[in-house]
Amino acid sequence: MTLTQLNYIITIAETKSMNKAAEKLYVSQPSLTNAIKELEKELGITIFYRSGRGVTLTNDGAEFLLYAKQIYGQYETVLEKYGEGGSYKKKFGVSTQHYSFAVKAFVDMAKEFDMSKYEFAIRETRTAEVIQDVSTMKSEIGILYLSDFNRKSLGKMLKSAGLEFHHLIDCQAYVYIWKHHPLAKEKSISFEQLDGYPCLSFEQGDNSSFYLAEEILSTNEYSQVIRANDRATMLNLMIGLNGYTLCSGIICEELNGNDYVAVPFQDDEQNPNSVMEIGYITRKNTLLSKMGVLYVEDLKKYLNISE
């Protein structure tokens, strides 16, 4: 088994086509096919199902792909650290809950590199997919939060996925609203005051649990609830419907604009204000790439975290 064969496996899985993979790798399709057959024979497993519509991973292949990505990813990290090595484009991805500061740090990081030599990806997505993306090495880093409410459940998910959580910052929840909302000038806002306004939350999927919610008090009964898939839609709902969301209060005006305000959430006995521990997740026992290290540094810089 060679690193070249591992790269072939990863590329075929990404393109789902022998033809496209061969073009991307600058090798002939017969050479690529033979290399895969030799590897399958060596391992004693079938990695891909082949059909007229392309190729798909077998169960054994899907498991092998995880190891292949981890090994090849570490190879790229070492190569990046100790030499220029090769003409391939280095890849770096981040998956995050819907945090504008995570995107801002990504922008700052990407500016430090020659974009023609790298493939960057930033994914604002559901909590479960943040975990899955890092677990499958689709992304090197994931951004999410833990609280007393979700810590046990998410902790189990992270452990099962072979991931570890790295603390960044603790913060209280804020009510995030349009600057012309009737409550925008309040010094703090209680749950009772929010009654009558639509609560906005990010959709987590049909079968998701409360523990995957990006907002605190996800188990509360709300008279009006609207779910959105992306941050831009949620911001439009804040303006159009005077909606609100309960968030960390760490807002990047450069990306979100200055039409919104974050007002401290006034809790009470029935509606406690949870401490939101924001951090990043990585695979256990792996080195961060140069991009990963710089991204974490930019996160800490934006959040005013001193070493």
Q: Is the pLDDT of residue 256 over 70?
A: no
- pLDDT band, very low/low/confident/very high, at 83 (cuts 50, 70, 90): low
The reported pTM is 0.74
Q: What does the pLDDT average to over 265-291? A: 88
**CATH placement of domain 170-275:** 3.40.190.10
Cα–Cα distance measured from residue 103 to residue 230, given in angstroms and rounded to the nearest whole number: 13
**CATH placement of domain 1-86:** 1.10.10.10
> Alpha helix (H) ranges present in the chain?
3-15, 18-25, 29-43, 59-82, 100-110, 127-135, 151-160, 191-194, 231-241, 253-256, 290-302
Indicate where the chain has its CATH 1.10.10.10 domain(s). Answer: 1-86
Indicate where the chain has its CATH 3.40.190.10 domain(s). Answer: 170-275
pLDDT digits (tens, 9 = 90+) for 177-234: 999 999 999 999 998 999 989 999 998 887 667 888 888 888 788 889 999 988 889 9
Q: Coil, helix or strand for 186? A: coil
The amino acid that residue 32 corresponds to is L
Q: What's the pLDDT at 65?
A: 92
Q: Is the pLDDT of residue 81 over 80?
A: no
Cα–Cα distance measured from residue 248 to residue 145, given in angstroms and rounded to the nearest whole number: 9
pLDDT digits (tens, 9 = 90+) for 161-190: 999 999 999 998 899 999 999 999 999 999
